[in-house]
Structure 1
Amino acid sequence: MVRFENVGLRYGMGPEVLRDVTFGIPARSFQFLTGPSGAGKTTLLRLLFLSLRPTRGLISIFGRDAAKLDPNETAALRQRIGIVFQDFRLLDHLSTYENVALPLRVQGREEASYRAEVSELLQWVGLGERMHVLPPVLSGGEKQRAAIARALISRPEILLADEPTGNVDPSLARRLLRLFLELHKSGTSILIATHDIALMDQFDARRLVINQGRLTVYD
């Protein structure tokens, strides 16, 4: 589904922050991306979400060369990728329910067709009583759960998550990981960026370790 071949990235004239990165995301796979702070995990996720272009190398997503995509094609491919940003990126003028439903609205679906689906997912992540409040009222953990629900609601083919359990307690972290696993069983490829070794040790999953801009794969 995704292939990186000798990908490098630098900002301006500075040194490369990613160097010769080569790896793939197979269909129906579950993987962790880990490494120290500042190693390049978030940068790699941004490349995967097509919000950055590499300085060199090839990125292929769903069989398409990312360098040759026009804006409309990029937008279409992004609809097949769910992403949980570390800074949440909720829209403050929309309620929790409206934020989670937004990807379905963008797809042109009528609210009657997804109202129950959105409400059920919000109940599952523990936000059933908070679905009509605005994001500024939510705690950090509640914003995290809302961002995860928004990424999951359209059942993406690939889910990218940047520290998705960083603002929740251990019990809810395990619950959220089980949700990711259920999504994986239904056919979605999952890539979770985390520095939580104890959390990763609970799952038998491939690890992509990034350090000083270079990636090593451990099956």
Structure 2
Amino acid sequence: MGESLLSGMEEPVVRFENVGMRYGLGPEVLSDISFTIAPHSFQFLTGPSGAGKTTLLRLILLSAKPSRGLVSVFGEEVSGISSHALTGLRRRMGVVFQDFRLLDHLTTYENVALPLRVQGRAETSYRAEVVELLRWVGLGERMHVLPPLLSGGEKQRAAIARALIARPELLLADEPTGNVDPQLGRRLLRLFIELNRLGTSVLIATHDFALMDLVDARRLILGDRHLRIEE
């Protein structure tokens, strides 16, 4: 779903060519991975536990470097670019990690607003937007609470809201519905779909086949260190 009619004419958001990844001197955890993510596209990343989904997401996020092969993000081949340029590329992404990565000294509202503050926007220009999104994910009554006082599901929703608030060009989500009930999971999926309709490319890593069956989307399936694609 969601691939633009113009996507064949546009630079892929992500391109992997024969990528291999190993940690230290150990065996490869990913081997000969080749795929592209088109602008405005929506896809799932799935596979058994330990197949390398989180490693693949880290490579896309540029927080890990491949052992071999080519990784290109937003048209930039990343092997030799500067740390400043890497930071610029990462700011074009929204990311939801399994460990949430909320800042404990900031309220829920402040955590979600942080990407907009980093952009230099005045609070008066985004406050209503942040409040609306927090209400939509069910945190309207928790926006002034610090993360240590949130439940796991509430932290998950705050992390998702933070990833979405700046309308990134690429959204990477690692098990984004893993700590919420199925009804809320479907609601969050609708939020990802709406973001995709607004132009964001979306890649969701998940084990939840029932969730994937709700969307006609491409599936990237990792297994035995290799990747296969179901359109």
Name the TM-score class by shorter chain.
over 0.9
Q: 1:83 is matched with which residue: 87, 95, 100?
A: 95
Distance 1:91 1:69 in 2: 29
For residue 162 of structure 1, the aligned residue among 158, 171, 174 is: 174
Offset at 1:162? 0.2
Asked if residue 199 in structure 1 is aligned to residue 211 in structure 2, the reply is yes
Question: In the aligned structure 2, how far is the partner of 1:117 from the partner of 1:190?
Answer: 21
Q: CA offset at residue 199 of structure 1?
A: 1.0
C-alpha distance in 2 between matches for 1:85 and 1:213: 22
**Structure-2 separation of matches of 1:66 and 1:82:** 18
Amino acid of the structure 1 residue aligned with 2:59: L
Residue 176 of structure 2 corresponds to residue 176 of structure 1: no
Identify the residue that residue 2 of structure 1 maps to in structure 2.
14
Whichever residue aligns with residue 177 of structure 2, its letter is: T
Equivalent of 1:32 in 44, 56, 63:
44
Alignment TM-score, normalising by the size of structure 1: 0.99
Shift of 1:212: 2.0
- Structure 1 unaligned residues grouped into runs of 5+: none
- Equivalent in the alignment of 2:7: none
- Give me the whole-angstrom Cα distance separating, in 2, the residues matched to 1:121 and 1:137: 20
Counterparts of 1:106-185 in structure 2 under 5 Å?
A: 106-185=118-197
Gaps of 5+ in 2: 1-12
CA distance in 1, matches of 2:178, 2:81: 33
Match of 1:208? 220
Q: Write the deviation string for residues 39-80 of structure 1: whole angstroms up to 9, x where unpaired.
A: 000000011111001010000111101112211100011111
Q: Distance in 2 between matches of 1:62 and 1:133?
A: 36
Q: 2:104 aligns with which of 92, 116, 123?
A: 92
Deviations 1:113-148 (A, max 9, x none): 111111110010000000000000000000000000
Distance in 2 (alpha carbons) for counterparts of 1:159 and 1:57: 23
- The two structures have a TM-score, normalised by structure 2, of 0.94
Secondary structure of 1:207's match? strand
Aligned residues: 219
Moved over 3 A (4+): none
Out of 36, 50, 74, the residue aligned to residue 86 of structure 2 is 74
User: How far apart, CA to CA, are the structure 2 residues paired with 1:108 and 1:56?
Assistant: 37
Counterpart code for 2:83: P
Quick one: which amino acid aligns to residue 133 of structure 1? Answer: V
Separation of aligned partners in 1, 2:178 and 2:137: 15
Matches within 5 A, 1:5-16: 5-16=17-28
How big is the alpha-carbon RMSD for the aligned residues of Structure 1 and Structure 2?
0.6
